[in-house]
Structure 1
Amino acid sequence: MLNILLVTFPFFALILAGFVAGHRRMLPLEAIPGLNGFVLYFALPCMLYRFGESTPIVQLLDPTLFVAYLLCALLMVAFLVAVSLNRRIGWNDAAFGALVGAFPNTGFMGVPLLVALLGTGAAGPAIVTIVVDLVFTASLCIALSRLDGADEHGAARAAKSALKGVLINPMPWAISLGALSSALGYQLMGPFAKTVGLLADAASPVALFTIGAVLARSQIRVKETGHAPIVWRDYVPVVFIKLVLHPVLVLLVLITVNQLGYTMDRFTLMVVVLVAALPSASNVALLSERFEADTGRIARIILVTTAAAFFTFSGAVAILHP
């Protein structure tokens, strides 16, 4: 367990450093979107491209893993929406609560952390889950969030908006180009490879620092808007579902898939369960602002899952990693 904590501690320490920098205004709030943009549009795509390029194409095109993880995502969204809807929480807040409860922080945090823990072989399965969450989980939840609207075409418009967001998001394109390079055996020429490598090396530390800064920004914005106190029953159940039930569900579904005769090796199963054990994706707070959901509730869920995951994620690694 101590060896695991020695690996995970620096990752969570960088998140804490970003949170402190944002909270104490050592990093101006206006600079945080720019920092997030650097990670999203430059550093992280280069990291994903590099992992995709070096990963065998059969791992990136694993239909069994893709369908099994998609099923888990759909079950999570349906369950979270069902348990969240009430007089105070409508479709918009329930949908984003489902997104924050079903969407792990795989891109910004999970890939570098899992590679550090398990080696480069962990990148392939993790990348498959990123594709599912970016294309399907996020799009579905954004469409569901519009069901509160008076316009009956709100969900259809939101679905189109979500798909447009996928098309302009560089991460799926970086993964696709990396997979194509892997399939063709293509490698970038020296100067281009070094440029991509420099940006890829910056992805992990800057992304982790940015997670903390985004969380601090969300907390500050919520206080500035005079948000009403967030009651524990509006966020604690989602935290529990994300950190405990999500990985358990993924484990049970993947074991069932194996029993049905669809072979999945133990290493892939372990990686995907650990992906599910990650805290909630920090960019959901930015999406909730854009779609006018209860950002205070979403930010609280992300903050608590990130803090608690230092213990729960490390515990999951200790249980699953031989």
Structure 2
Amino acid sequence: MSVDLGRPVAVWRPRPRTSLRVDRRAVAVGLVLLAIVCVLAVVSLAYGTYQLSLGEVVGALTGNGDRRAHTLVVEWRLPRLLFAIGCGIALALAGSIFQSLTRNPLGSPDVIGLDAGSYAGAVIVTLVIGSTAYTDIALGSLVGGLLTAALVYVLAYRRGAQGFRLIIVGIAVAAMLSSFNAYVMMREDPQTAMIVAAWGAGSLASLGYSQLVPFSIALVALLPLAALLARPLAQLELGDDAARSQGVHAERVRLGATILGVAFASLVSAAAGPIAFVALVAPQIAHRLARTAGPSPVVSALTGAALLVSADVVAQHLAVATGLVTVTLGGLYFIWLLIREYRRS
């Protein structure tokens, strides 16, 4: 017996009672996005104050280039590129998780205040405690994000946590935390405060392999958890009752997904600062490209990587922080999305 799903899919049956359904459009979109990321990667490695040819980039990566090209590509530009790809993936997955939890395209860490909470945790660790170690900043960001998530959930809870209420409360909490961060920085030494402020703008410029190694280990450890939660989250979008009827523990999945989403967002904040709007935009672009029922984690991750790498290329061209580019472009999308959601409601 065959079932018409209304769109072309491929079914893989490795065992008699096991099958895997793959959406062909999502696969095609993912491959195109992967190709775009590869092209942008070459542009990122070749472009800069000293421009290199494609042959020089390939030679530097394979160890056959001259010393100058090796220094530019491998030691300076490659860590920044890998950070852009990794941060784009982490932010897109965080946005996909929270948009599934809130069942609202406005649900993302930067909108509901989690980025501001992670930033506040990092500010406290850096300026109040006085530690600049990556692990301490990462732990402070994670704790700040989790406490902010708990606060938003408690304040928005009223016979359940309705998605739009979470977003409104999150915007208010983010505004208060932004004021707190500004107050703490104003009380510190101007030079130190400027360093933290520059980090808060979201920049990939000063990152190297010393930060890339722990970031990559944490990201690789979190990705399997995101894969495990993808199906329960999709079932949870149908409603708690429908999800429970399919054997999903709604509260456990919601709690685990919240912690995982905060971990993804905090991982980026600890390394590069709060890079805004990628988590908001990437899942929605992926959703419209793949035309899936909800945000597709894999397509969202590739979209996030493509967006952040392209934003970083523009930022290098303009000599500004990467976060400034994402805020400018994402802010316009955010305004359009707010108008669209208001008209729909």
- TM-score normalized by the length of structure 2: 0.31
| Bigger RCO (CA 8 Å, 6+ sep) | 1
**Richer in helix (by share):** 1
Q: TM-score, normalised by structure 1?
A: 0.33
Q: Which has the larger radius of gyration?
A: 2
